[in-house]
């Protein structure tokens, strides 16, 4: 009897019933460290064929990657709709306890649920229900402290990750996407499978102690940030659910709470190890 696959990202358990399809498939390499056991939060089922939605209303469009529709409370997300061999539809129940992925290529030649943005889209929608957010950032754990280095593409996240990788006693959770959640009075950061150029990805978690907004510059320097700027920068460097008014309200409140309780700095840096000494002195 085939066993179910379960992956855990940010303490959220997603279960894939192994007997759901008539062929064998494996967890993608980047996801294998996230293989886990635990109480199911989301059941993810796979299907052959086209999902017949009937009447549906387009809510949000992100061409050419995906588009969101709604029908009877369900979210219907059409992924890579213009690429016939990769075309698929993700259907989320109203409470996102169930996710169904339909592959239109019935030949089964390429039916990988981990390919492309499918899992990230699922998680963004799930987290928007008061559970957390995903931030473009490099996250490290050092001496039990979580340090988050936030930046858009090209800001230096992978560079920072490679510099910290030369240090002892440091775990790099991710060099591109970090999941942040609040547990009790504290914020926690989690590694994700969605790594950047440096390819660091681990399911480890650590309490978030400092946030650094990355800037390239001729010298290493720590600068101050203003409250409204911190929230704005996090919004720019995250995956906010623009299509979901309640989700956006939660995200804005979450970032405001996060930046109020976690010290934030602007970090201008040169791409060498001298920046790590500055960060160490700042963190203590």
pLDDT tens-digit series, residues 85-111:
888 999 999 999 999 999 887 665 667
pLDDT confidence bin for 267, thresholds 50/70/90: very high
Question: In terms of pLDDT, which residue wins out, 234 or 53?
Answer: 234
For residue 147, what are the CA distances in angstroms to 43, 180, 242? Answer: 32, 12, 27
Question: In terms of pLDDT, which residue wins out, 3 or 186?
Answer: 186
pLDDT confidence bin for 52, thresholds 50/70/90: confident
- pLDDT, residue 106, reads 62
Q: Pairing relation of β-strands 170-174 and 74-79?
A: unpaired
**Structural contact between residues 78 and 89, judged by C-beta atoms closer than 8 angstroms:** yes
**Is residue 1's pLDDT more than 50?**
no
Contacts of range 248-251, beta carbons closer than 8 Å, 24 or more positions apart:
248/128, 250/128, 250/129, 250/130, 251/128, 251/133
- pLDDT, residue 217, reads 85
Question: Could you tell me the domains of the chain?
Answer: 5-127 (no CATH), 133-283 (3.90.228.20)
Question: In terms of pLDDT, which residue wins out, 49 or 22?
Answer: 49
> Which residue(s) pair with 88 in the sheet?
79, 103
- pLDDT, residue 227, reads 74
**Is residue 22's pLDDT more than 60?**
no
Instruction: Give the C-alpha separation, 41 to 9, whole Å.
Output: 11
- pLDDT, residue 109, reads 61
Lowest mean pLDDT among 18-27, 60-69, 108-117, 190-199: 18-27
**Structural contact between residues 197 and 177, judged by C-beta atoms closer than 8 angstroms:** no
- pLDDT, residue 27, reads 76
Q: Is the pTM of this model over 0.85?
A: yes
Mean pLDDT of the chain: 91
What whole-number percentage of the chain has pLDDT above 70? 94
Contacts of residue 255, defined as CB under 8 A and 6 or more positions apart, other chains included, come to: 133, 230, 231, 234, 235, 238
What whole-number percentage of the chain has pLDDT above 90? 72
Q: Pairing relation of β-strands 98-103 and 42-48?
A: parallel
- pLDDT, residue 35, reads 92
**Structural contact between residues 80 and 87, judged by C-beta atoms closer than 8 angstroms:** yes
119-136 pLDDT, tens digit per residue, is 999 999 999 999 999 999
- pLDDT, residue 108, reads 58
- pLDDT, residue 170, reads 96
**Is residue 236's pLDDT more than 50?**
yes
In a 10 Å sphere around its CB, with 0-12 CB exposed, 13-18 middle and 19+ buried, how is residue 8 labelled? Answer: middle
Tokens 């949000």 -> residue: 60
């Amino acid at each position: 009897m085939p066993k179910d696959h379960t992956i855990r990202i940010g303490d959220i358990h997603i279960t894939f019933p192994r007997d759901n399809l008539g062929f064998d498939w494996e967890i993608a390499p980047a996801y294998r460290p996230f293989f886990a056991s635990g109480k199911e939060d989301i059941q993810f089922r796979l299907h052959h064929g086209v999902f017949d939605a009937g009447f549906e209303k387009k809510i949000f469009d992100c061409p050419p990657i995906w588009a969101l529709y709604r029908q009877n409370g369900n979210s219907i997300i059409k992924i890579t709709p213009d690429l016939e061999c990769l075309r698929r539809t993700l259907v989320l129940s109203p409470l996102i306890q169930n996710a169904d992925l339909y592959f239109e290529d019935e030949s089964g030649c390429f039916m990988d649920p981990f390919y492309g943005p499918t899992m990230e889209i699922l998680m963004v929608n799930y987290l928007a229900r008061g559970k957390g957010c995903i931030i473009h950032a490099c996250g490290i754990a050092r001496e039990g402290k979580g340090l988050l280095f936030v930046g858009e593409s090209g800001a230096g996240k992978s560079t920072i990750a490679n510099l910290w990788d030369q240090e002892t006693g440091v775990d790099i959770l991710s060099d591109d996407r970090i999941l942040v959640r609040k547990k009790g009075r504290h914020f926690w950061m989690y590694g994700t499978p969605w790594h950047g150029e440096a390819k660091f990805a681990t399911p480890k978690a650590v309490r978030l102690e400092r946030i650094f907004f990355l800037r390239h510059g001729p010298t290493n320097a720590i600068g101050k940030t203003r409250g409204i700027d911190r929230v704005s920068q996090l919004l720019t460097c995250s995956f906010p659910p623009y299509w979901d008014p309640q989700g956006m309200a939660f995200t804005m409140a979450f970032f405001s709470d996060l930046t109020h309780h976690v010290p934030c700095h602007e970090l201008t840096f040169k791409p060498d190890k001298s920046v790590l000494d500055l960060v160490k002195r700042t963190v203590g």
